[in-house]
Amino acid sequence: MKFSVDRFVPREGGYARGADGHELILKTALSVMIDHGYKAMTLRRIAAECGLKAGHISYYFKSKDDLVRALLKMITGSYNEAIEAMAEKAGDDPEKKLKNLIRFMLEDGRTKQAAYLFPELWALANHDPFVQTCVEEMYVAEQGHFEEIIAELNPALGDEDRKNAAVLILSSLEGVAIFAGYGKTWEERMDALEEMACDCFVAFVKAMKPGDAVATDGLSIA
Amino acid sequence: MKFSVDRFVPREGGYARGADGHELILKTALSVMIDHGYKAMTLRRIAAECGLKAGHISYYFKSKDDLVRALLKMITGSYNEAIEAMAEKAGDDPEKKLKNLIRFMLEDGRTKQAAYLFPELWALANHDPFVQTCVEEMYVAEQGHFEEIIAELNPALGDEDRKNAAVLILSSLEGVAIFAGYGKTWEERMDALEEMACDCFVAFVKAMKPGDAVATDGLSIA
Amino acid sequence: MKFSVDRFVPREGGYARGADGHELILKTALSVMIDHGYKAMTLRRIAAECGLKAGHISYYFKSKDDLVRALLKMITGSYNEAIEAMAEKAGDDPEKKLKNLIRFMLEDGRTKQAAYLFPELWALANHDPFVQTCVEEMYVAEQGHFEEIIAELNPALGDEDRKNAAVLILSSLEGVAIFAGYGKTWEERMDALEEMACDCFVAFVKAMKPGDAVATDGLSIA
Amino acid sequence: MKFSVDRFVPREGGYARGADGHELILKTALSVMIDHGYKAMTLRRIAAECGLKAGHISYYFKSKDDLVRALLKMITGSYNEAIEAMAEKAGDDPEKKLKNLIRFMLEDGRTKQAAYLFPELWALANHDPFVQTCVEEMYVAEQGHFEEIIAELNPALGDEDRKNAAVLILSSLEGVAIFAGYGKTWEERMDALEEMACDCFVAFVKAMKPGDAVATDGLSIA
DNA sequence: AATGAATGAGCGTTCATTCAT
DNA sequence: TATGAATGAACGCTCATTCAT
């Protein structure tokens, strides 16, 4: 399973004669943002790539800000769905589930979409509270998924330890995904990095000791 | 030691009137980029925050592109210097050195500068080969530093294993830094995350087995 | 018949609001160029004289260069049409036809339009290949018209003699037109100059001898 | 003898260490105007080609307008001198003198300087009374020279006839010079045009009849 | 639902000019 | 003399937006 532009579009289905206006525009906006960056995502360009005229976008979206917000909702909503879908269809073995999730996230980083989109989102989020909230919600959901698996893999852990471990793994994987993802110098190492990440984080979760969030004298592992 | 805006503007000449124009402008441009994002970094805004007029920026930088390039060189050059400085003043214990480096990177993420600047750079790099090259060079240097420490900590590792481990740790830390860095929801967890990251990655490097990049039957730790 | 600004703007569409934008803008641009020179023909000035705002010009012409090119095409196209129209409605007597053409060109020089426009075009042409080509094409057509009349007036002439005579007369008339045309010190002499030019060039063509481009022992006239 | 950039420069001679500031700047301004047109003749460009800085031009010329005026004075002054020099060293035969003058003017048109400079001057003159006066004065002097020769060649002519003939020939030659001069499509015809122009205008002057400025029933020639 | 016309603000840039040094 | 710093206006152009049709 991968995140794709098409996944962002379906909404309620039923396409009258091609795509619904909103969807077509959002889909096009997304592709412009991915291919040329947010700064190149002008209404004119979106319109041109839709086969529409610039002024017509305003019919669907009152302002560019509205469009951006709808776009963000679409993107993060789609990721939320994908995460939930993953959680449902996961098997029984918690170690396997964690590895699957790690591999899923890093595979996503190999797509142009993820590797080019997320830096834009992060940059936007730093200066736009709405974007920040959207992105945060998305990651909170992902974090919850990690927490569930970690709880299965090491049931002895306390709440805080579990949360922190989830955040560490989640954020690390995001880093690896955009650092060694699509188009990057380190892209060819991704296969090895996936295996390493699986081993590293599975071992870490297994080795964690409950009671103290951080073993002050070093972990007992090794 | 931290990276700060001031570190970027070391030279202080004996010029006629006030500080050297290039440095003042670059310093201001950087602060605008950090505080308001690249898309808000217009020549007029930089000029206004410098107390200059828009046209005067062109006196120092032939074009905005020139300014951006000089800015990039300044930023990455400064980070390169900081990394080298760290390498030189490190002690003897490789484990301590690795932990220091990990903490250093995550502490940097707690500064607004790093947390807000790097997403902008990554976004820019995806659509501007020059930025990509600058950022890459910076990370290659950091990667080299990690490799040296890893080689000391686990001398049995082969070249590829060592390189991959360095990339995994470096990119993970970048992810954690911006994910749980300045202004983010997870910022309050950063102390715990630092300790966890130290334990996780030190254990991982120690546990790595030479010969096969990944121990197929699970790591021997724990 | 005279060339006038209005002649440049023949088409009159049934558009929604007012005249067609392209034509209005080109017409205004022309009048600015005539009244104030090419260097004063800024988009803002054209817009202001149109009752538009500067940015709106870019809606009709992608760039100023595009506008200039369209303007050139309009000007030279209109002259080409006028020349053809003249050729068609000419009578039978070749001497009369030549005199008519001479008078036509010099009368044109008495209009502000011609007297002020052509020096701008020549200056532009020297540094802009596109303008040079446009202007050249226009003059080649005029030259052809002269050649036809000369052939009738002195059928014995060879190709080269005829061409050279046409170029001599055409270029001389252009010189007289701008030298003693609208607004010049010598403007009051134009009536006399027209008669003189007619006599001079008609006599010259009649007196030309075939075989050698130039009669080395002086012309046989007088 | 030709007009050349160097001819414009000598002034009072004695060059201290290279050229005097005024002269160097004017000379450079002229070459910029010829090579790139008046619209490209910016103070910055002149300064750069002089090896000076832009602000320094203002030390020599209070304003750009001052510079342009000095430049015009230099150009037309130099042409006036050349015309006088020609008049002095001319021989006895009036026909030869007229032909020499015609050839001189057309040869001048074959230089880039004349062919590129004069259209700029005419364009400027139409919108700047000072330039207009300068250029007019220059041509009045040339006209005087033509009148003298015509008086010798056809002493029976009245004042007005002589003046008009001078204007006709002078303006025609200016037309031919820039029309078939340096860099133009018709440049290769210039040898033939020189001969034709000599024959045409010499014959015309000789054939002119006194008493009526214009023979109302056609000239008696042919 | 869709377009073309129009606006106003802002962009990066260039220019002539001023002025202290 | 000569320079570097600085200004303010204008340039061509792009943008989001509005609105009548």
Output the DSSP codes for C157-202: --HHHHHHHHHHHHHHHHHHHHHSSTTSGGGGGHHHHHHHHHHHHH
Predicted pLDDT at A15:
36
Give Cα separations from A202 to A61, A175, A189, A199, B213 (angstroms).
45, 17, 20, 5, 16
Q: How far apart are CA A21 and CA C19, in angstroms?
A: 33
Task: Tell me the one-letter amino acid at D97.
Answer: K
Residue-level pLDDT at C69: 97
Determine the average pLDDT of the residues in A181-185.
97
In degrees, rounded to 5, the angle at the alpha carbon of residue A123 between the alpha carbons of residues A42 and A190 is 105
pLDDT, position C210: 84
- Distance, Å, C50 CA → F13 C1': 18
Write the CB contacts of C34 (distance below 8 Å, at least 6 apart in sequence): C5, C112, C113, C116, C117
d(C-alpha D50, C-alpha D118), whole Å: 23
Distance CA C114, CA C108 (A): 6
Residue C20 pLDDT grade (very low, low, confident, very high; cuts 50, 70, 90): confident
Mutate to test the interface with B, among A196, A201, A206, A208 (most CBs of B within 10 A): A196
The chain A residue lying nearest B127, using CA atoms, is A36
pLDDT at position C220? 42
Query: Over the stretch C116-132, which tens digit does the pLDDT of each residue have?
Result: 999 999 999 999 999 99
Q: Please say whether the beta carbons of B185 and B161 come within 8 A.
A: no
Whether residue B109 contacts residue B176, with contact meaning beta carbons closer than 8 Å, is answered with yes
The CA distances from residue D71 to A203, C36, D24, D83, D125, in Å, are 84, 21, 11, 18, 13
**CB of C188 less than 8 A from some CB of D:** no
pLDDT at C130: 96
What is the mean predicted confidence (pLDDT) over C31-48? 97
With a CB-CB cutoff of 8 Å, which residues 12-51 of chain A face chain B? 36-40
pLDDT-derived band of residue C11, with 50, 70 and 90 as boundaries? very low
Chain length of chain D: 222
| Distance (Å, whole) CA B212 – CA C15 | 76
CA distance D205 to D149: 10
Give tens-digit pLDDT for B50-82: 999 999 999 999 999 999 999 999 999 999 999
Contact at CB, A172 and B170, closer than 8 angstroms: no
DSSP class of residue D212 equals S
Give tens-digit pLDDT for D15-30: 333 457 789 999 999 9
The rounded percent of chain A whose pLDDT value lies above 70 is 86
The first and second tokens of residue A158, run together, are: 């306390």
Averaged pLDDT score across all residues of chain A: 88
Mention every residue, 6+ apart, whose C-beta is less than 8 A from residue C68. C131
**Residue D183 in this model has a pLDDT that exceeds 60:** yes
What is the phi/psi pair of residue A114, to 5°? -70, -45
Tell me the C-alpha distance between C189 and D59, whole Å: 44
Residue given tokens 């334990």 in the structure block: B199
Nearest DNA or RNA nucleotide to A60 (CA to C1'): E1
Average confidence (pLDDT) over C87-110: 92
What confidence score (pLDDT) does residue D9 get? 44
- For residues D182 and D117, the answer to whether their CB atoms sit within 8 Å is no
All domains in chain C, ordered by first residue:
66-207 (1.10.357.10)
- Cβ–Cβ < 8 Å for B165, B194: no
pLDDT per residue as tens digits for the range B151-191:
999 999 999 999 999 999 999 999 999 999 999 999 999 99
Q: Find the length of chain C.
A: 222
pLDDT at C168 over 50: yes
Indicate whether A56 pLDDT > 90: yes
Which of these, B103, B166, B176, B215, lies nearest to A202 by C-alpha position?
B215
Write the single-letter amino acid at B183: G
State the burial class of residue B152 (Cβ atoms within 10 Å of its Cβ: 0-12, 13-18, 19+).
Answer: middle
Query: Contact at 8 Å (CB) between B27 and B10?
Result: no
* Angle, alpha carbons B137-B143-B144 (nearest 5°): 95
Q: Does C65 contact chain D (CB < 8 Å)?
A: no
Q: Which residues of B touch A214 (CB under 8 A)?
A: 192, 195-196, 199
pLDDT tens profile D125-181:
999 999 999 999 999 999 999 999 999 999 999 999 999 999 999 999 999 999 999
End-to-end, the C-alpha distance of chain A in Å comes to 36
Segment C177-200 shows an average pLDDT of 98
D196 interfacial to chain C (CB closer than 8 Å): yes
Residue nearest to nucleotide E9 (CA to C1'): C55
Distance from CA of C16 to the nearest CA of D (A): 38
Q: Among candidates B157, B167, B136, which has minimal Cα distance to B94?
A: B157
Q: D touches C (3+ CB pairs < 8 Å)?
A: yes
Task: Reply yes or no on whether the pLDDT at C133 is more than 90.
Answer: yes
Q: Which residue has the tokens 């490097």?
A: B205
How far is C106 from chain D, CA to nearest CA, in Å?
12
Report the percentage of chain D scoring pLDDT > 70: 86
Residue B62: exposure state from Cβ atoms within 10 A (0-12, 13-18, ≥19): exposed
H-helix or E-strand spanning residue B145: helix B129-153
The whole-angstrom distance between A21's CA and the closest CA on chain B is 28
| Spatial separation of the C-alpha atoms in residues C141 and A194, rounded to whole Å | 74
Whose CA is nearest the C1' atom of nucleotide E14? B55
> What single letter denotes the amino acid at residue D117?
L
The pLDDT of residue C193 is: 98
Start-end of H helices in chain C: 21-36, 43-50, 54-60, 64-89, 94-109, 112-125, 129-153, 159-179, 190-207
Question: For position C88, what pLDDT does the model report?
Answer: 84
Residue A139 has pLDDT above 80, yes or no: yes
pLDDT at position B7 over 90: no
Supply the pLDDT for residue D103. Answer: 96
Structure tokens at B36: 């308001």
Is A143's pLDDT higher than 90?
Answer: yes
- The torsion angles phi and psi of C133, rounded to 5 degrees, stand at -60, -45
Predicted confidence at residue A14, as pLDDT, reads: 37
In this complex, the residue of D123, D175, D180 whose CB is nearest that of residue C176 is D175
3-state DSSP call for residue D180?
A: coil
Residue D98 in contact with residue D201, Cβ under 8 Å? yes
Mutate to test the interface with B, among A128, A168, A202 (most CBs of B within 10 A): A168
pLDDT at A84: 87
Q: Which of the nucleotides in strand F have any atom less than 7 Å away from a protein CB atom?
A: 1-21
Distance CA A37, CA A30 (A): 9
Other CB atoms within 10 A of residue A195 CB: 20
Question: D15: how many CB neighbours lie within 10 A of its CB?
Answer: 13
Cβ neighbours of residue C50 under 8 Å, at least 6 residues apart?
C24, C25, C28
CA–CA–CA angle B63, B9, B82 (5° rounding): 115
Neighbours of C14 (CB within 10 A): 5
A104 and A165 Cβ atoms separated by less than 8 Å:
no
| Chains B and A are in contact, defined as 3 or more C-beta pairs closer than 8 angstroms | yes
B161/chain A closest Cα distance in angstroms: 9
Residue type, A48: A
